[in-house]
A and B are shown apart, each in its own frame.
Chain A
């Protein structure tokens, strides 16, 4: 069966540390993998996109890696801040423009 899995347990880290979130998928061949941030009661907001032929992408304190052999993406937030506390969703964009999301991981950064 096709699945996108993110760690369902909340990730709690101390301010200033690096947060690492994992996204694993099975039986998909995505053209792109995207990461979004969602705050309670709001729609997700796009953060980063990585293509199938890219290994790593960076934007300010954010870094995404993409391993199509392992079918896994890692999302890193360096020098984390309490304002980074939110739910982070990974999403796969397939060849048919179908955009599907994982279950999300809640990140809590405490002072």
Chain B
């Protein structure tokens, strides 16, 4: 069953703690993305990766870190430096632009992070 999986669905953490959100895909996609969504808002790009062992900052990368050691996995760490981490986090994957076919993005179910 192909798709993209985020875990956990809900996550609670104390202020000042780092937390890592998981994102796994078995779609053989090259590109992967992390977005943050606040209530009533659109998606803001945190980081994206076009290929293994390489990633680029999005528009709101401060306070976040990522790694891309495997094609299938793109974990996001929310560090204590992120001032307002409570949000809905979405991971997505797609084929790279230079591949044949359309480049639609597939999204996971999201992780709702609450920092108390």
Contacts and interface: CB of A to CB of B under 8 A. Distances in A.
A89 interface: yes
A2 to B, nearest CB: 9
A104 B42 contact: yes
Interface of A: 6, 31-32, 34, 36, 41-46, 49, 89, 91, 93, 95-104
Contacts, number: 65
Nearest to B102: A49
A85 B24 CA distance: 30
B105 interface: yes
Given A43-B92, A43-B110, A99 B105 contact: yes
A44 B104 CA distance: 11
Interface string B97-116: 10000111111111000000
Contacts of B59: 100
Given A43-B109, A103-B42, A97 B31 contact: yes
B74 interface: no
B107 A45 contact: yes
The residue among B58, B88, B104 with the most chain A CB atoms within 10 A of its own CB is: B104
Given A34-B104, A93-B97, A93-B103, A98 B109 contact: no
Contacts of A44: 43, 90, 105, 107
A32 B103 contact: yes
B25 interface: no
B86 interface: no
A6 to B, nearest CB: 8
Contacts of A6: 42
Contacts of A96: 50, 56
A99 B33 contact: yes
